[in-house]
Chain A
Amino acid sequence: MAETGRGPYGPYGSYGPYRRLRDGLRAYRLIAAMWIRSTMAYRASFAMTAFGNLAATSFDFVAILLMFSQVDELGGYTLPEIAFLYGVVGVAFGLTDLMIGSMDRLGSRVRDGTLDTLLVRPAPVLAQVAADRFALRRLGRIAQGLFVLGYAIAVLDIDWTPLKVLMVPMMVLSGGLVFGAVFVAGGAFQFVAQDAAEVQNSFTYGGSTLLQYPPTVFAKDLVRGVTFVLPLAFVNWVPALYVLGRPYPLDLPTWVAFAPPLVAAGCCVLAGLAWRAGLRSYRSTGS
Chain B
Amino acid sequence: MGTGRLYAAVAAGGFRRYATYRVATAAGVFTNTVFGFILAYTYIALWAEKPHLGGYDQAQALTYVWVGQAMFAVMVLGSNGFEAELMERIRTGDIAVDLYRPADLQAWWLAADTGRALFHLLGRGVAPMVCGALFFELALPTDPLTWIACLVAIALGTVVSFAIRYIVALWAFWLLDGAGAMQLTWLTGVFFSGMLLPLNVFPGALGEIARLLPWSALLQAPADVLVGEADPLGTFAFQATWAVVLLAAGRLVQSAATRRVVVQGG
A213–B49 alpha-carbon span in the complex (Å): 15
- Known A-B contacts A66-B197, A66-B202; the reply to A49 vs B49 at CB < 8 A is no
State the majority secondary structure of interface residues on A.
Answer: helix
In the complex the two chains form, what is the Cα distance from A110 to B45 in whole Å? Answer: 42
Report B124 CB to chain A, min CB distance, Å. Answer: 10
B35 with A206: CB separation less than 8 A: yes
Q: Roughly how many angstroms separate A265 CA and B38 CA in the complex, as a whole number?
A: 27
Chain B positions within 8 Å of A53 at CB level: 183
The A-contacting residues of B in range 182-198, CB under 8 angstroms, are 183-184, 186-187, 190-191, 196-197
Residues of chain A with a CB closer than 8 A to B180's CB: 44-45, 47-49, 52
- A252 is an interface residue with CB less than 8 A from chain B: no
By a CB distance below 8 angstroms, the chain B residues around A56 are 183, 186-187, 190
B187→A52 contact, CB < 8 A:
yes
A210 CB–B CB distance under 8 Å: yes
Do the beta carbons of B27 and A70 come within 8 Å of each other? Answer: no
Q: How far is the CB of A121 from chain B (nearest CB, A)?
A: 27
A74 at the interface (CB under 8 A from B): yes
| Contact for B49 among A55, A73, A194, A218, CB less than 8 A | A73
| CB atoms of B183 and A199 under 8 A apart | no
Residues of A within 8 A of B177 (CB): 42, 44-45
Place the interface of chain A in its size category: 35 or more
By the criterion CB–CB under 8 Å, are A195 and B23 in contact? yes
Neighbouring B residues of A202 by C-beta, 8 Å: 30-31, 34-35
Within 8 A of A (CB), among B29-46: 30-31, 34-35, 37-38, 41-42, 44-46
* Interface assignment of A34: CB less than 8 Å from any CB of chain B: no
Q: Tell me if B144 counts as interface (CB < 8 A to partner A).
A: no
- B41 and A74 within 8 A (CB): no
Is A40 located at the chain interface by the 8 A CB criterion?
no
Given A42-B177, A202-B31, A217-B42, verify A66-B203 contact (CB < 8 Å): yes
Q: Are B45 and A63 in contact (CB under 8 A)?
A: no
Once bound together, how far apart are the Cα atoms of A44 and B184, in whole Å? 13
Let me know if A69 and B203 touch, CB within 8 A: yes
In the complex, the answer to whether B196 meets A52 with C-beta atoms within 8 Å is no
Bound complex: CA of A277 vs CA of B201, how far in Å? 48
A48-B31 contact, Cβ under 8 Å, with A71-B50, A74-B49, A198-B24? no
Given A45-B177, A52-B180, A198-B28, A219 and B41 touching (CB < 8 A)?
A: yes
B38 touches which of A67, A75, A209 (Cβ 8 Å) = A209
Q: Are B21 and A59 in touch, CB under 8 angstroms?
A: no
In the complex, whether A166 has a CB less than 8 A from a CB of chain B is: no
Asked if B181 is at the interface of the complex by the 8 Å CB criterion, the answer is yes
Residues of A within 8 A of B175 (CB): 44-45
| A71-B23 contact given A42-B177, A217-B42, CB 8 Å threshold | no
Q: How far is the CB of A186 from chain B (nearest CB, A)?
A: 11
Q: B49 near A222 (CB under 8 angstroms)? A: no
A173 adjacent to chain B (CB < 8 Å) = no
Closest to A199 in B: B27
Decide if A70 touches B41 in the complex (CB within 8 Å).
Answer: no
Q: Is B26 close to A, CB under 8 A?
A: yes
Q: How far is the CA of A63 from the CA of B22 in the complex (A)?
A: 32
Task: Pick the residue among B23, B26, B42, B203 that contacts A70 (CB under 8 A).
Answer: B203
In whole angstroms, how far apart are the Cα atoms of A213 and B46 in the complex? 11
List the A side residues contacting B46 at CB < 8 Å: 67, 70-71, 74
A33 within 8 A of B: no
Docked complex: A206-230 residues within 8 A CB-CB of B: 206, 209-210, 213, 216-219, 222
Q: Is B252 among interface residues, defined by CB-CB distance under 8 A?
A: no
A48-B53 contact given A56-B187, A213-B42, CB 8 Å threshold: no
Q: 17 new A-B pairs (CB below 8 Å) besides A45-B179, A71-B46, A196-B23?
A: A42-B177, A44-B177, A45-B175, A48-B181, A52-B183, A52-B186, A55-B187, A56-B190, A66-B201, A66-B202, A66-B203, A69-B203, A71-B50, A74-B42, A209-B38, A217-B44, A219-B41
25 contacts between A and B (CB under 8 A): A42-B177, A45-B180, A48-B181, A48-B183, A49-B179, A52-B184, A55-B187, A62-B191, A62-B196, A66-B202, A69-B203, A70-B53, A74-B49, A195-B21, A195-B24, A196-B27, A198-B30, A202-B34, A206-B31, A206-B38, A213-B41, A217-B42, A217-B44, A217-B45, A222-B41
Top 10 nearest A-B pairs by Cβ distance?
A48-B180, A52-B183, A195-B23, A202-B34, A198-B27, A196-B27, A195-B24, A63-B196, A71-B49, A217-B45
